[in-house]
Amino acid sequence: MFRLVVTDASGRRAVTVEQLPFSIGRGSDNQLQLTDGQVSRRHAELVEEAGQWKIRDCASRFGVFVNDARVLEANLQPGDRIRVGQSEIRVEENDPQTAASSTVDFRQMNALLAGLRALGSSQVLDEVLVIVLDSALDVAGAERGFILLAQPSGALKLRLARARGGVTLTSAQTSQRIPDEVYATGTDKIVTDLLDDSHALLHAGTVALGIRHVLCTPLRVLQHAAGGSERRIGVLYLDSRERGYLQNVGTLHALATEAAVVIENARLYQEVVERERAAQELRIAAQIQQALLPPPTYSDDLHELAAFTTPCRAVGGDLFDYFPRDDGALTFTVADVAGKGTSAALLTAVVQGLFTAEAETADAPAEVLSRVNRSLCRRSVASRFVTAFYGKLSTDGTLSYCNAGHNAPFLLTARGPLRLDEGGTVLGLFDTGFYENGCVQVASGDVLVMFSDGVTEATNVQGEEFGDERLGSCLEQSRGRTAAGIVAEIQRALSEFCGAAAATDDATVMVVAAR
């Protein structure tokens, strides 16, 4: 048997001559159809006479050339070059040996996959798909190949389209319904001739491209864990304008089976790489968030300040900040954005920016929070709000503050603890929100302890909450300590209380001691 390697306007493809006579022409009823204006409807045919293969001109308009000489009839042997119109056809021995070697050695592919993994390539899946598709095109002798993989939603998505000769197709389409049907049923779909009446209407778009033959086979992996049941991950779809490739269906099945495993491995590996990259980005975000915070300790002649914030995830929705002002006053804030994680962290950065912008003004805390509230309402994100405590400790010992729906801070005085809850409701929900100033006189030795609900709502393994009372008695026990000492004591008490229980919220504490 011979095979013909056809080079025409649409590229290069191999066509196996399965039976004789074998007709060549522009018409769709030919075994080899050439869509070429210089090819006659029925241009030439291959025939066998006394064991000898011949090509015969069927009264074509532009003639048949064998090895550049025009012929009406000529003997053929491997290596001969036939030219009809603009198309060139090389005659080759259809060596089963050659066919076998064109099947991919998947041990090699797995080795390649291992290599790509070792390099940490994030393109593993793309590379594997290229290899699989090119191999399938080789085995089948098809013109175009497609791999569609199932999305998490279950819908198929085109991942790669290739044409023979290693060309990636960017706008090519498969038939709409064949892949879906194959994926749903898990059985092959082979259409030998889309021009058959029963198919032509269903696949009009594909037929318009001259596509006649389609082979679509599911990609499936066996799940050993699930008792050997199979899971379909997508489909391999091949099409062609020629007959002659369907004889390799068995090989193609073997290829699809092996390929599915390799594709699945590559996909899983890529997921790991992507997850790792996302984790890396979160680590960077966490570093940036930490860098946005001021140093955790501060002191001047009148104040000693210490703080900590522990996000329960990589990034958090709590913040503390403080600003020593030129007039000797210290302003400070602790705020908690509703929610946790990345979305809260983004809003936290916005809130911190708003406070920073307000810090330089001499306005009363209620005015500061009113403005922050209005700014947040303008940028409102549905259901997101912020609780905040903002205070200003002047050199004469006056602490003016405003509490916008935040856990009331403790002011530890010689006369006992006070709770500071004057203010208004949470920020970012109502642009008509009204905020009042609280005012209290602070003596030397008094300590202000601000905290977020992540502290009092921290739970232990029994599900109990740390609570206001435990925090209160913890503060009672740390009487006489420095701000840094109190912060350390709260952290110690919290971690002792929580034990092995995982934090479920961001926890923040800021302590300001008046000297």
Reading the block at residue 48, the tokens are: 């066998």
Q: Which CB sits closer to another protein, 16 or 407? A: 407
Contacting residue, 23, 240, 387, 508, with another protein by CB under 8 A: 387
Q: Which CB sits closer to another protein, 222 or 338? A: 338
Q: Using CA atoms, how far apart are residues 294 and 265, in angstroms rounded to an integer?
A: 46
Look at the block and give the residue holding tokens 């509703």.
338
Q: Which CB sits closer to another protein, 215 or 344? A: 344
Q: Using CA atoms, how far apart are residues 15 and 87, in angstroms rounded to an integer?
A: 14
Q: How far is CA 137 from CA 128, 163, 175, 238, 249, in A?
A: 14, 8, 17, 7, 12
Is residue 383 part of the contact set for another protein (CB under 8 A)? yes
Binding mask 87-126 for another protein (x = CB under 8 A): ----------------------------------------
Is residue 408 part of the contact set for another protein (CB under 8 A)? yes
Element (H, E) at 490: helix 483-498
| Residues belonging to the chain | 515
Residue pair 385/453 in contact by the 8 Å Cβ criterion = no
Question: Which of these segments, 215-223, 238-246, 378-386, 493-501, binds another protein (CB under 8 A)?
Answer: 378-386
Contacting residue, 240, 375, 400, 407, with another protein by CB under 8 A: 407
Reading the block at residue 419, the tokens are: 């709770």
Is the torsion defined by CA of 492, 495, 496, 497 positive or negative?
positive
Is residue 385 part of the contact set for another protein (CB under 8 A)? yes
Question: Which of these segments, 1-9, 201-209, 263-271, 406-414, binds another protein (CB under 8 A)?
Answer: 406-414
Q: Which CB sits closer to another protein, 270 or 407? A: 407
Question: Which of these segments, 136-144, 152-160, 253-261, 336-344, binds another protein (CB under 8 A)?
Answer: 336-344
Residues 6+ apart with CB under 8 A from 213: 142, 191, 192, 193, 194, 239, 240, 241, 242, 243, 245, 246
Q: Using CA atoms, how far apart are residues 502 and 312, in angstroms rounded to an integer?
A: 8
Binding mask 428-447 for another protein (x = CB under 8 A): -xx-----------------
Report the nearest approach of another protein to the CB of residue 384 (Å): 6
Is residue 338 part of the contact set for another protein (CB under 8 A)? yes
Q: Which CB sits closer to another protein, 16 or 387? A: 387
Is residue 264 part of the contact set for another protein (CB under 8 A)? no
Report the nearest approach of another protein to the CB of residue 344 (Å): 9
Question: Which of these segments, 2-10, 236-244, 304-312, 399-407, binds another protein (CB under 8 A)?
Answer: 399-407
Contacting residue, 69, 201, 226, 382, with another protein by CB under 8 A: 382
Contacting residue, 384, 390, 447, 475, with another protein by CB under 8 A: 384
Exposure string of 81-118, with b = 16+ CB inside 10 Å and e = fewer, is: ebbbbebebbbbebeeeebeebbbebeebeebbeebbe
Is residue 508 part of the contact set for another protein (CB under 8 A)? no
Is residue 426 part of the contact set for another protein (CB under 8 A)? yes
Report the nearest approach of another protein to the CB of residue 308 (Å): 20
- Indicate the Cα dihedral angle 432, 433, 434, 439, nearest 10°: -160
Residue pair 292/286 in contact by the 8 Å Cβ criterion = no
Q: Which CB sits closer to another protein, 244 or 409? A: 409
Residues 6+ apart with CB under 8 A from 495: none
Reading the block at residue 217, the tokens are: 């086979």
3-state DSSP assignment of residue 43: coil
Look at the block and give the residue holding tokens 């021009």.
195
Q: Using CA atoms, how far apart are residues 432 and 430, in angstroms rounded to an integer?
A: 5
Burial (CB count within 10 angstroms: exposed 0-12, middle 13-18, buried 19+), residue 406: buried
Contacting residue, 122, 425, 437, 460, with another protein by CB under 8 A: 425
Binding mask 289-308 for another protein (x = CB under 8 A): --------------------
32-33 and 22-25 strand pairing: parallel
Question: Which of these segments, 115-123, 141-149, 289-297, 382-390, binds another protein (CB under 8 A)?
Answer: 382-390
Is residue 405 part of the contact set for another protein (CB under 8 A)? yes
Question: Which of these segments, 41-49, 123-131, 398-406, 439-447, binds another protein (CB under 8 A)?
Answer: 398-406
Is residue 336 part of the contact set for another protein (CB under 8 A)? yes
Q: Using CA atoms, how far apart are residues 466 and 9, in angstroms rounded to an integer?
A: 77
Binding mask 450-489 for another protein (x = CB under 8 A): ---x------------------------------------
Size of the site for another protein (CB under 8 A): 23
Contacts with another protein by CB under 8 A lie at 336, 338-340, 343, 382-385, 387, 404-408, 423-426, 429-430, 453, 505
